[in-house]
Amino acid sequence: MRMIRIIILENAYTRVQRAMRRPALLISTVTVLATASPTLIAADLETITVIGSRTERPLKEIAATIDIIDAQQIEKELARDIADLVRFEPGVTVAGTGSRYGLSGFNIRGVGGNRVLTLVDGVRVAEEFSFGPFLSARRDFVDIDSLATAEIARGPISSLWGSDALGGVVAFNTLSPRDLLGDQDFYSGYKLGYSSADSSSVGTVTIVGDTGSVSSMVLLTLRNGEETENNAAGGPEYGAERTSPDQQDTQARNVTAKVQWDINDSQALTVTLEDFKNETDTKIFSDYGIFSRGTLINSREAADERDRTRVTVRYQLDQASAWLESAALSSYWQKSESYQSLIESRSPPPYLSTQLRDRISTFEQTVVGANAQLSSVLSSSNTTHTITYGLDYYETSNESIRDGGTVDAAGNTVPEFTPLPTRDFPKTDVENFAVFIQDEIELLDGRLLLSPGARYDRNEATTSPDSLYFSGNPGVAPPTDFSESEISLKFGVIYQLNSLLSVVARYSEGFRAPPFDDVNLGFTNVLGGYKTISAPDLKSETSDSYELGLRFSGSSVEASLAIFTNDYDDFIASAGSGHCPTFYQQFGCIDPEDGFLVFQSENISQVTIDGAEFRFTMELDSLGIPNIEIKGAIAYADGEDKDTGDPINSVQPLTGVIGLSYGSSDGLWSGDLIWTGVKSKDESDISPGSALYATSGYGLLDLMGQFQFNEALSMNFGVFNLTDKSYIRWADSPGIGRDAAQRFTQPGINYSVGIKYEL
């Protein structure tokens, strides 16, 4: 167990002060707050969250920074995918522009990838896995038209959610029959949408019915589109200097079905089925004519597929007894698969003949799990305890296969550098068992809320190496079974100074168990003269987070400020990303026994990320300007590798958003004008030797509108990047490599429209 230590946030505060002196947006919003009408309001802070305590609680009772995006906001902002979902959320990003592999996972406060836990109805989304140039299994497995809400917890929260909640948690909650029926016994909805950014169209049909004690829902979404356009100047049609996006065709389908049986007033049983499929075909024109290890690449075409199927059964009991407030039992099964195929025409030296090579890579993860969660309320004359406690169990089965072959123009087989098919890691089953408890304590007539919590996790990995693994990886050490346990703590405080102002403080721990693929990653390329070796001594990555904030709630203004510092220990540098282990650095990363270049995963870094986030909402009615609202948010973070003193490249630049909203008095139409400003990422903010592209700062202007034609028919429209700005997001810089940077620019001026008809 790590010791909880009391610290003063001097370093974070100093850096935040420097940031506050720069952005005019923050200064202006603080001024607006200071002059606002001080009457009590409880609008956004009354929004219900589950991710912050594992039970339904208003945001104002959670000592953590949590964003909630609901279905109405998703429609209003015409979001197409998870990147659009967080378009106006400073401090949260999704990368993936310009890549054949699509969108990656979330980055929260400078930490991303598998260090951010992603859930769908409480079930873990498959992990990312990348190896070599032909496999990059990412986490874009969710169609956002199926969502009731998306909750984003900023900062570690492993005391509630366990491993991988190192940088934060993103929880997707799918729609249920009760979300749509209201007082009706039947609902049907039909949505059509189009976006010029990728020439994509979408259609969603939702049918919901209630037969008394049983309600059911079926939701079907179909999408198709092309490559996302950019805003680059003209360039060559083929090769690494190509500035236009590679040509793509995408088709996606998602089905969400639910049946809920209300056994009685206090008991319900819900069965959920999800089935998601995405297929993308890419002509990789940017690789036409390049050289790879002396071989001329004539053409490359890819066919990639992502599939996820989930079944969940959940039993809910409310108000069971005087001591048991609620109980929930869930069991689930989910299978996720990434299939990636590449067909390549190539000409080896002396470039007089042509070969045809294909590569097929798959990554499959199946998770089976169950959990039990109970909540009890104990009260005395001046104290109330809401105790949440329970058990989590899940097991993931993981496997990857790499296959393919090469033939010459006459159809003769060409020898491969390595035996195929093979596995990059042995088949691995990972079991996790956890027990958790949290106590939310109300004191001083509700003015003081304390929330201590703890969780114990035990991870055990069992490998099952087969002939595919050993034949493709000659000479590697036998795979190692391993286990790891961790206790994660948290303590939150909310103190209401008066009816308007509250102080919030939180200490929270996070961890990520050693990834199965890093521990036993094995690969030997005899002809290429390099190898990856296992890392059986890897330790868990851990984090300690300290956060201090203020919340203001008045009749026309709501605002919050959070200052944080996050300390991360034992960050793992992955062999799959080309890490040279410390021991072999003395030999120039060469194994003196066989002369091979060596890659190995290793715990190396101690990292600190400090920052601040501010957001506000102000209604102008009190100033005599009805129906107008101003919203703003800003996020600043600064990271440092304590071992080297280098900046942390995953930290995003200073970002601010401010918007003006108008809603008609009759509620039939509304509009939003939103400006987003992003600071440049200078060379001094990038670690030396990383060769990442330094991005310029930029400002964007977006316009959105909503019309309610009648009770059944509505429309949303948006015009984005009104000034036709050409810009590259820092989140996409790691994907540029040797390609033309302009190919990674975002779309110029573009529009989206959505129409919905409800019965």
Considering the entire predicted model, what is its pTM? 0.92
**Strand ranges across the sheet with 65-70:** 65-70, 147-154, 168-174, 116-120, 123-124
CA distance 165 to 111: 10
Burial bucket for residue 10 (CB in 10 Å: 0-12, 13-18, 19+): exposed
- Report all structural domains of the chain as residue ranges with CATH numbers, in order of start: 10-236+253-288+305-350+360-476+500-758 (2.40.170.20)
Give the residues of the chain that fall short of pLDDT 70. Answer: 1-45, 527, 576-577
Name the phi and psi angles at 475, rounded to 5. Answer: 85, -5
147-154/214-226 β-pairing: unpaired
Closest of 167, 187, 168, 192 to residue 177, by C-alpha: 187
The DSSP-derived string for 261-316 is EEEETTEEEEEEEEEEEEEEEEE-GGGTT-EETTEEEEEEEEEEEEEEEEEEEEEE
Q: Which helix (H) or strand (E) holds 465?
A: none
Are 153 and 204 in contact, with CB atoms under 8 Å apart?
no
Q: What is the pLDDT of residue 576?
A: 66
116-120/168-174 β-pairing: parallel
Are 102 and 96 in contact, with CB atoms under 8 Å apart?
yes
Are 103 and 113 in contact, with CB atoms under 8 Å apart?
no
Name the phi and psi angles at 469, rounded to 5. Answer: -70, -50
Q: What is the pLDDT of residue 123?
A: 98
The DSSP-derived string for 541-552 is EEEEEEEEEEEE
Q: What is the pLDDT of residue 1?
A: 41
C-alpha to C-alpha distances, 749 to 52, 86, 235, 549, nearest whole angstrom? 38, 19, 20, 38
Per the rule left: phi > 0, alpha: psi between -120 and 50, beta: everything else, 84 is alpha
Q: What is the pLDDT of residue 45?
A: 59
Q: What is the pLDDT of residue 44?
A: 62
Residues in a beta bridge with 717: 705, 753
Please report how the helices 10-20 and 24-34 are oriented relative to each other, as an axis angle in degrees rounded to 10.
100
